[in-house]
Structure 1
Amino acid sequence: MTRAGAGAWTEPGAFPIAPGIHRLPLPLRDDGLKGVNVYAIEDGDGVALIDGGWAIPEAFDVLAASLNSIGYRPADITRTFVTHAHIDHYTLAVWLRTEYGTPVAVGRGERDSLTWIAGHGPRHRLQAAQLIEAGAPHLAEFMSRDDAAADPVAECWELPDVWLGEGEVKVGQRTLRVLETPGHTQGHIVLYLGEEELMFTGDQILPHITPSIGFEAVPQQQPLVSFLDSLGRVRQLPDARLLPAHGPADGRVHARIDELVEHHRRRLEQTRSAAARLTSSTAAEVAEQLPWTRHERAFAELDPFNQTLAVTETRAHLAFLVHQGELAASADDVVLYAVP
């Protein structure tokens, strides 16, 4: 299938973006996002991928069928550029390397998290410690149980062949500009094709949802500061078509950045107000006061994994407000926030 976008954005196939560039939606397992967009760019010898997908058989089968529809096979993938080291982006790239020798490149800022996971340390140990500090020991226990059930080797957590920094990479006759955009993760990158006004934004800029902030094996100290700074840097570039990792590829980068900045401005106001009402509170207690998702669901309605994301994100907003001097934080084992 090579139609430009009939049906839902997760419908499998190879959807043309520009001559020699296709969007290949791949399925996810037990994930509310339902799918991840992998982009194939013809490079003369085969195709380079932007993002790899999740290392599950159904994703590989869809990738193979989608490539076949445009005349390629998985063995024709020359390399994979991964926007960040989350399981739904990174691990199928490692699987492809195991099967075909396909090199894997990822942002250099992912070194700490990938070294931790590839060393077979419990993937969420540092996040669990952060959740205890945030006043959510039950969620820390949930994450620890998830670690106990996981096998880093089977999940394809290995180090990449190339650590990418700011600069340019050639893909056939095209030149991709690599931009380091920490925030969603420390090593997140976006890739920009200026002449064609295309930007592959990974999870940093998504069309309909706001990406999680700072959910990674080795957490950042100020992920929201990094995220907003990254959005500001990208906003200074000429506008481009938004090619996200999740969602339809029919938006524009500048408009969506403006919406994300406004969302976080409002969220910071809500977070500060909640902290002020509670007088002295943990990040978990503040998270319980806030609405979640586009449907403004109550915290208690979220499943444990999404409660974990909610507490982590609330902690990032509280840390930002402390950084700005609008809140004060205690230095105890469980951190309390209050208006100074």
Structure 2
Amino acid sequence: MILHTLKGYIQTLYIAEYPDKLMLLDGASRADVDDITQYITQELNRPITDLKVVVITHMHPDHAGGANLLRARTGCALVSADRPNQWYSGLDGFIMHLTDIALAMWVAKRKNQPKRNLWYSRHLHPQVRVGEGDVIPGFEDWRVMETPGHTDRDLSLYHCEQDLLYVADLIVEVKQSLISPFPIFHPNQYRASVKRVFEMAPKRLLAAHGGEVTFDKETYRYLIETTPRTPSTHWRVTKIQLRSLFTALWSLGRAKRKNQ
């Protein structure tokens, strides 16, 4: 297995290459689809139909946004967590989907990336559903680890022979520091996932945001200590901001009444 690293729109992409097949370790964003297909056909000199599997580690725009388009172009199988419900279900899910796309666009702007269309379906219908300990069909040297916390369905992928672990958004690098991601829906599960990866101590640890990273004891302690104790989600952050705004307006109004 040869692992290729590509610079994506706002994240790092990984393609596992074999003599007769390819696997994309995550579903990328919609803005990455053309670059992925071009890389396969021009850099690897392979037909795009050699892409047999795309794994979706979770449903955020830079991890699921390109999946359905890649399946339409290549006929690949989509592989994701075995969950009974859609991540973006209901009215709350619809709003969260829009918010996540807006957040991805904000990240792209911060990275000085040109504006791209990041729209994608909030519903995923994978051909294969996997859980803890399962292998990826057709790529049995890759094993699935469930590492929830960021969402309820986060997957990591472990290549046993090379002692290599891809953790998607479990850990992200910002300004050369490793931090926990946003949002974190399940803080206790997140800490357990981080602890599991630290104790596992793979030879190579790959993140979607940061590439290959060094996960030492100091970083582990920092993540455990700084990860919020309560869920840090879109709605909670919005409520805090609204509360601060109302408090400021109330204080301003009170001050004006005193001066009258």
TM-score, reference length from structure 2: 0.70
Counterparts of 1:55 and 1:308, CA distance in 2: 22
- Give the superposition deviation at 1:61: 2.2
Residues 310-321 of structure 1 correspond to what in structure 2 (within 5 A)? 311=237
Q: Determine the structure 1 residue equivalent to 2:71.
A: 97
Q: How many residues align?
A: 216
State, as a whole percentage, how many aligned pairs show the same letter. 26
Distance 1:206 1:75, change over 3 A: same
Distance 1:81 1:260, change over 3 A: same
Q: Determine the structure 1 residue equivalent to 2:167.
A: 201
Counterparts of 1:177 and 1:313, CA distance in 2: 39
- Give the superposition deviation at 1:113: 3.0
| Structure 1 residue 76 corresponds to structure 2 residue 50 | yes
Counterparts of 2:136 and 2:234, CA distance in 1: 39
Counterparts of 2:69 and 2:14, CA distance in 1: 17
| Structure 1 residue 176 corresponds to structure 2 residue 142 | yes
- Give the superposition deviation at 1:213: 3.1
Counterparts of 2:54 and 2:25, CA distance in 1: 6
Q: Is the Cα–Cα contact under 8 Å of residues 243 and 249 in structure 1 kept in the other structure?
A: yes
Q: Is the Cα–Cα contact under 8 Å of residues 63 and 74 in structure 1 kept in the other structure?
A: no
Counterparts of 1:44 and 1:313, CA distance in 2: 52
- Give the superposition deviation at 1:86: 0.9
- Give the superposition deviation at 1:238: 3.4
Distance 1:71 1:255, change over 3 A: farther
Structure 2: segments with no counterpart, 5+ residues: 103-118, 241-260
- Give the superposition deviation at 1:253: 6.7
What is the one-letter code of the residue matched to 1:51?
D
Distance 1:254 1:38, change over 3 A: farther
Map Cα deviations across residues 72-101 of structure 1 (whole Å, 9 max, x no partner): 343321111121111211121111112222
Q: Determine the structure 2 residue equivalent to 1:155.
A: 120
Q: Is the Cα–Cα contact under 8 Å of residues 41 and 171 in structure 1 kept in the other structure?
A: no
Counterparts of 2:137 and 2:70, CA distance in 1: 19
What is the one-letter code of the residue matched to 1:257?
Y
Map Cα deviations across residues 97-153 of structure 1 (whole Å, 9 max, x no partner): 1222211001124x4234727xxx66345x59xxxxxxxxxxxxx95xx8xxxxxxx
Q: Determine the structure 2 residue equivalent to 1:239.
A: 202
Q: Determine the structure 1 residue equivalent to 2:245.
A: none
What is the one-letter code of the residue matched to 1:101?
G
Structure 1: segments with no counterpart, 5+ residues: 1-18, 28-34, 129-141, 147-153, 215-219, 272-282, 288-306, 315-340
| Structure 1 residue 66 corresponds to structure 2 residue 39 | yes
Q: Is the Cα–Cα contact under 8 Å of residues 78 and 127 in structure 2 kept in the other structure?
A: yes
Map Cα deviations across residues 5-52 of structure 1 (whole Å, 9 max, x no partner): xxxxxxxxxxxxxx511112211xxxxxxx222211123322111002
Q: Is the Cα–Cα contact under 8 Å of residues 147 and 193 in structure 2 kept in the other structure?
A: yes
Residues 62-141 of structure 1 correspond to what in structure 2 (within 5 A)? 62-67=35-40, 68-109=42-83, 111-114=84-87, 116=89, 123-125=93-95
Counterparts of 1:309 and 1:24, CA distance in 2: 33
Tell me the secondary structure at the aligned position of residue 112 of structure 1: coil
Counterparts of 1:82 and 1:227, CA distance in 2: 18
What is the one-letter code of the residue matched to 2:82?
R
Root-mean-square deviation (CA, aligned residues, Å) is: 3.3
Distance 1:173 1:184, change over 3 A: closer
Q: Is the Cα–Cα contact under 8 Å of residues 141 and 161 in structure 2 kept in the other structure?
A: no
What is the one-letter code of the residue matched to 1:237?
M
Residues 189-338 of structure 1 correspond to what in structure 2 (within 5 A)? 189-207=155-173, 208=177, 209-214=179-184, 223-252=186-215, 256-264=219-227, 308=234, 311=237
Q: Determine the structure 2 residue equivalent to 1:25.
A: 7
Q: Is the Cα–Cα contact under 8 Å of residues 46 and 78 in structure 1 kept in the other structure?
A: yes
Q: Is the Cα–Cα contact under 8 Å of residues 3 and 17 in structure 2 kept in the other structure?
A: yes
Q: Is the Cα–Cα contact under 8 Å of residues 169 and 209 in structure 2 kept in the other structure?
A: yes
TM-score, reference length from structure 1: 0.55
Counterparts of 1:41 and 1:101, CA distance in 2: 17
Counterparts of 1:86 and 1:244, CA distance in 2: 15
Q: Is the Cα–Cα contact under 8 Å of residues 24 and 38 in structure 1 kept in the other structure?
A: yes
Counterparts of 1:113 and 1:170, CA distance in 2: 21
| Structure 1 residue 41 corresponds to structure 2 residue 23 | no
